[in-house]
Structure 1
Amino acid sequence: MRKVWEQGDKRVDRTSVGTRSIFGASLRFDLSADRVPLLTTKRVYWKTAAREMLWFLSGETNIRPLVQQGVKIWNEWPHANYVKKTGDAISLERFIERIASDVTFAERWGDLGPVYGKQWVDWSTYKIDTDGRYTKGPSVNQISNVIDSLKQDPASRRHIIEGWNVAEIDQMALPPCHKTYQFHVNGSRLNCLLYQRSCDVALGLPFNLFGAALLSRMIAQQVGLTPGNLVWMGGDVHLYLNHRNLIEEQLSREPAGEPKLKIAQRAEDIFSYRIEDFEVTDYAPQTPLRAPVAV
């Protein structure tokens, strides 16, 4: 954060808010002994990040299941889309109330398009029939495929989950930021590398790191390996200019403690974990820091 804020180039970004940005950064974390990369210089609502990860794994792309759990992190995008397309200047709060209470409204306005979950567990394929026409083929469940390949061919260099489906990017409310996960087996340890094309350091990165660690831990448990390293790599790594107060306050704080993530039991499969299966201990963060989301 300090490097981006003090050395980053000022850029005019897609949101018109403006950022300070660097290109190319990396972080490395040891996930053994239940360690988890969870910031202590501000409170990170890890259950929200865990619920989002479970939502991804479900293949769901509508915000309604998140809204019903009190998860707000995706609300702004469908709200902005609704206001733009209808001209109805409904408040965000009222829009979310309608998403929660009105199934038909949620089906029409709560869907984000083929975002993360769709690509992870239901990647579309096509085939050419005898008349030269394209028809839909069987979908690809990348999560299941990676788990199978880790069990059957641990030395493979193809243990990859990819979210960047070029053919469907324009249909997504927001193209995937944490786009590519690659897994690597070293003896009995499972390592995970996450490449993130675009990273909001103040708001997004804390969630992305916890989510990647949680996914890596679940997969390791499913394939009978122990957690290894989490390597994070960022492309455009930035801070929004209107996050100044959050940034300066967080940079004045000293990190302390070593949180632990425990998974209570091995679920029947990767898609059967529940929020109750996860517990974070030894986490004593400093007070929350808030800033607006740039849409």
Structure 2
Amino acid sequence: MMRHPEQQYLDIIRHLIEKGDRRIDRTEVGTLSMFGAMMRFDLSDGTFPVFTTKRVYWKTAVKEMLWFLTGQTNIQSLLKENVRIWTDWPLDKYRKATGDAISQEDFEARVLADDDFAGEWGDLGPVYGKQWRRWVDAQGKEHDQIATLIETLKNNPTSRRMLFHAWNVGELDQMALPPCHMTYQFYTSENHSPVQSDGERGKRKVSMLCLQRSADTGLGVPFNICQQAALLHMVAQQVDMVPGELIWMGGDVHLYLNHRELADTLLSREPKALPKLKLVRRPDAIDGYRIEDFDVTGYDPHPPIEAPVAV
């Protein structure tokens, strides 16, 4: 019997609890930490690695990835999609700068209603999307790393230079949060799968490796894995290939001390079957996808687990 792919994630959590290095981190919450971890997920049969030991809100994760791909950096467009995961950072900045103890709900309402307010207080600085789509070099020239990746996959699919990253040293101090999932590298190979549909026959397989320098295993990692899998499915469709393997690598992999109850609950649960993903439409470009294009079937997770976000 094959081992459930989600066990890789549970193994990391178990290792952190048993052997993690206890340390005080940037947020002062404290973590149990380890250095270096890897997980591999085979997506070739349409598997969508949305973890099942707690409900993962995959639509929110995918919406964030779609936002990255458009190159946007303001939370206003995210809030319009009912995605609130980035609000904590500009809200904290606004409260400290103004002394106004505004609630998150009221802050978000102002960002949505007032474009000038959103422009001043809703922008996160040159975070992921800016670096992916509009990296500015020393001469002032913009580089669209995603467009270059797509072109290279189409025209030189065995290149060892098919990657993009967000760790722009000169702009880190302007970002609300330096990039955690910072480097994405792609690799194509012949498709030797014994079971291939007519639409897959003769197509190459594309795999993706993501290096995440800082990995919050309780809340962040399940979210990241699912959105990275969505990205691989989109890239594969755009370059007329089939998805291969998603390889996730973590640098500082940690469990926040106030997530211990969450971790214990996860370890007490048995993983269920992972869902399947089918893209129902092929847009003209990688930034043309909408959440409605993602048809996810068979997702029947354990109940959600609430836990605080460390800012």
- Normalising by structure 1, what TM-score? 0.95
Query: Are positions 1:196 and 2:212 aligned together?
Result: yes
Amino acid at match of 1:10: R
1:87-166 equivalences in 2 (<5 Å): 87-127=99-139, 136-137=140-141, 139-166=142-169
Amino acid at match of 1:69: E
Equivalent pair of 2:53/2:271 in contact (CA under 8 Å): yes
Q: Which residue number in structure 2 is paired with residue 27 of structure 1? A: 39
1:206-245 equivalences in 2 (<5 Å): 206-245=222-261
Query: Are positions 1:10 and 2:22 aligned together?
Result: yes
Q: Which residue number in structure 2 is paired with residue 132 of structure 1? A: none
CA distance in 2, matches of 1:258, 1:97: 36
Q: Which residue number in structure 1 is paired with residue 178 of structure 2? A: 175
Amino acid at match of 2:47: R
CA distance in 2, matches of 1:58, 1:199: 24
Write out the 4+ residue segments of structure 1 that deviate beyond 6 Å after TM superposition.
none
Q: Which residue number in structure 2 is paired with residue 205 of structure 1? A: 221
SS at 2:136 equivalent: coil
Q: Any stretches of 5+ residues in structure 2 without a counterpart?
A: 1-12, 191-203
Alpha-carbon displacement from aligned partner over 1:192-218 (angstroms, at most 9, x marks no partner): 000000000010001110111111111
CA distance in 2, matches of 1:258, 1:123: 36
Backbone CA RMSD of aligned residues: 0.8
Aligned residue-pair number: 286
CA distance in 1, matches of 2:189, 2:242: 10
SS at 2:282 equivalent: coil
- Normalising by structure 2, what TM-score? 0.91
Deviation at 1:86, TM superposition (A): 1.3
CA distance in 2, matches of 1:78, 1:294: 14
Q: Any stretches of 5+ residues in structure 1 without a counterpart?
A: 128-135
Amino acid at match of 2:102: I
Query: Are positions 1:58 and 2:70 aligned together?
Result: yes
CA distance in 2, matches of 1:271, 1:46: 18
| Higher deviation after alignment, 258-267 or 189-198 | 258-267
SS at 1:41 equivalent: coil
Alpha-carbon displacement from aligned partner over 1:141-190 (angstroms, at most 9, x marks no partner): 00000000011111110000111000100000000000000000111110
